[in-house]
Amino acid sequence: MGSGVERIVELITEKSKKNPEIMDLEYFLRGVDSYRSKIHINNVNHDLQIIRAHLPAKSKVLDFGCGFGIQSAVLAEKDFQVVGLETVEDKSLDHFFKGDAEKHKSDRDRSLRQIWNWLKEDLDSLEFRYYDGKHIPFPDGYFDAILAYAVLEHIPEDELPGTLGELSRILRAKGLLYIFQFPRAESYSEFIAHRLGLEAHDFLLSEQEIIKLIEDHGFRIKERYLSDL
């Protein structure tokens, strides 16, 4: 039996392959491609362990930009009350399917809803919602913690301040915002990928720009971890 992340990826991969008639299988397999790496799975498990170390059971957690809901499901299994939130329009499709995104956009909603339903089957503490990309449909101070996992870099630069403002609004006083896998302009891997014409992020901020952006929206950075890559 694999780790929580690995097991959930295996579950939804098996179900998707058995039900290609109700799935955009190419969209799904492209989306979970990074989870074929043991290094990536270990990183995700490590990051989620950081959240578990700081939050009591039953805490209300928002998985912002949840995608397939893999992280959402792992946290729900650990006795958190989890909401996975995704935009009606997936801004990352143009990035992942350069020049070929349109054919996947129409099937994205159907595929996501099916995956979410599979994940919720045995998890009463898990729900998923869409939002319009601007106003997050929850009252002020609703969540104890928010997870933004490899998502902020996919938000257009002019929309990012508004997004952080919304996250600040729905987070309770002294709540925790976890931002993981936010690539920096100083990243060696991003530099090499750009130079070689490989897949890389179009929007990158420097380390100091990231810190300023976060602090300008009322957050105080308690801990930060940097990767040389």
In order, the DSSP letters of 59-92 are -EEEEET-TT-HHHHHHHHTT-EEEEEEESS-TT
* pLDDT given for residue 86 in this prediction: 95
Q: What percent of the chain has pLDDT over 90?
A: 55
Q: Identify the band that residue 207 occupies on the pLDDT scale cut at 50, 70 and 90.
A: confident
Pick the closest to residue 122 from 11, 5, 10 (CA basis). 11
Cα atoms in the Cβ-side hemisphere of radius 13 Å centred on 103: 8
When divided into structural domains, the chain yields a total of 1
Q: Identify the band that residue 225 occupies on the pLDDT scale cut at 50, 70 and 90.
A: confident
* pLDDT given for residue 27 in this prediction: 80
Task: Confirm whether 38 is domain-assigned.
Answer: yes
Task: Confirm whether 222 is domain-assigned.
Answer: no
Task: Confirm whether 62 is domain-assigned.
Answer: yes
149-184 pLDDT tens trace: 989 888 888 999 999 999 999 999 999 999 997 775
Task: Confirm whether 221 is domain-assigned.
Answer: no
DSSP state, residue 32:
T
pLDDT reading at 1 higher than 50: no
Task: Give the range of the structural domain holding residue 187, as residue numbers without chain letter.
Answer: 4-215
* pLDDT given for residue 195 in this prediction: 59
Task: Confirm whether 182 is domain-assigned.
Answer: yes
What CATH code is carried by the domain that includes residue 47? 3.40.50.150
CB atoms within 10 A of CB 119: 24
Q: In terms of C-beta density within 10 A (0-12 exposed, 13-18 middle, 19 or more buried), how is residue 216 classed? A: exposed
Q: Identify the band that residue 191 occupies on the pLDDT scale cut at 50, 70 and 90.
A: very low
Percent composition of the chain: helix, strand, coil (DSSP 3-state, to 5): 50, 15, 35
pTM of the model: 0.86
Burial 28-43 (b: 16+ CB within 10 A, else e): beebbeebeeeeebeb
Q: Identify the band that residue 188 occupies on the pLDDT scale cut at 50, 70 and 90.
A: very low
pLDDT reading at 8 higher than 90: yes
Q: Return the ∠ at Cα 17 (arms to 13 and 18), rounded to 5°.
A: 115
Q: Report the chain's mean pLDDT, rounded to a whole number.
A: 85
| Maximum pairwise Cα distance, the chain | 47
* pLDDT given for residue 107 in this prediction: 79
Task: Confirm whether 143 is domain-assigned.
Answer: yes
Task: Confirm whether 165 is domain-assigned.
Answer: yes
* pLDDT given for residue 137 in this prediction: 96
Task: Confirm whether 224 is domain-assigned.
Answer: no
CA 28 to chain centre: 15
Q: In terms of C-beta density within 10 A (0-12 exposed, 13-18 middle, 19 or more buried), how is residue 183 classed? A: buried
210-223 pLDDT tens trace: 889 899 999 999 98
